Amino acid sequence: MSGDVVLRAEDIHKSYGKLQVLKGVTFEIRKGETKVIAGPSGAGKSTLLRCLNLLTMPDKGRVWLEDIELTDPKVDINKMRQKIGFVFQEFNLFHHLTALENVMIGLTKVKKMPKEEALRSAKEALLTVHITEDLWHKYPAQLSGGQKQRVAIARALAMDPVIILYDEPTSALDPQLVGEVLQVMKELARKGVTGLVVTHEIGFALEVADEIMFMYDGKILEKGPPKEVVFNPKHEVTKKFFEKIGRLYGERR
């Protein structure tokens, strides 16, 4: 065990009406780690991710970011969300702002950074995700899917987060654009940016993840080193799932 725990979830439950989506999920992630959450659709992966920054309020259970409990009603969640990057499947870039403005707005409006400083940080974040100057003043509708998602990653990154949560970041992309986004995510992982990634990209998991958590029916069914979980799982459902995913996605890197 090395490094400090930056995010800890304890016994997270969430139901929508009678449908129990999360049935008690507990895990933690340490500074610099990259963890992948995999599992069939409906297993509760996205709901879990949204429960971690309280975009969805868990019914039961607690979440800590570093040593602060987010689920404590006294905590200013807006302040805490600044420290949790979130990358959406559908990018959700702000349509009316340019790429640069998308990255800047959190810095100026939320962090109240002076404009010059915000501009510098935003440009730096964009360059980190390989969005070059010629794209800075384009609007989201003028960018490709891969470019949009990289701007979205830059928007999260610029806030200088403790962790970035990725919710199926490549699922809405055309196949030929997946690589550029995964590449950026790998680079960030190698730089030590802590990440929790919901994805079906097994190649990504095998290459950079410290751990895969396999979710099934609202719980973490098993977890461990990626190679272990993918090639030598304990449970039959896990095995079936990765066989199927392997056929669908291959192990592209």
Contact status: 105 vs other proteins (CB under 8 A): yes
In the block, tokens 């949790």 appear at 84
Two structure tokens written together for 39: 């599992």
Contact status: 241 vs other proteins (CB under 8 A): no
DSSP strand pairing (5-16 vs 84-87) = unpaired
DSSP strand pairing (68-69 vs 195-198) = unpaired
Whether residue 206 contacts residue 251, with contact meaning beta carbons closer than 8 Å, is answered with yes
Site for other proteins in 74-93 (CB under 8 A): 78-82, 84-86, 88, 90, 92-93
Q: Give the SS3 label for residue 218.
A: coil
Contact status: 58 vs other proteins (CB under 8 A): no
Among 28, 94, 174, 234, binds other proteins (CB under 8 A): 94
Contact status: 124 vs other proteins (CB under 8 A): no
CB of 202 to other proteins, least distance (A): 26
Contact status: 169 vs other proteins (CB under 8 A): no
CB of 76 to other proteins, least distance (A): 10
DSSP strand pairing (195-198 vs 34-38) = parallel
Contact status: 110 vs other proteins (CB under 8 A): yes
Q: Rounded distance, CA 182 to CA 179, Å?
A: 5
CB of 236 to other proteins, least distance (A): 36
Report the 3 state secondary structure along 125-159: HHHHCCCCHHHCCCCHHHCCHHHHHHHHHHHHHHC
Give the footprint of other proteins on this chain (CB under 8 A): 53, 55, 78-82, 84-86, 88, 90, 92-96, 105-106, 109-111, 138-142, 152, 155-156, 159
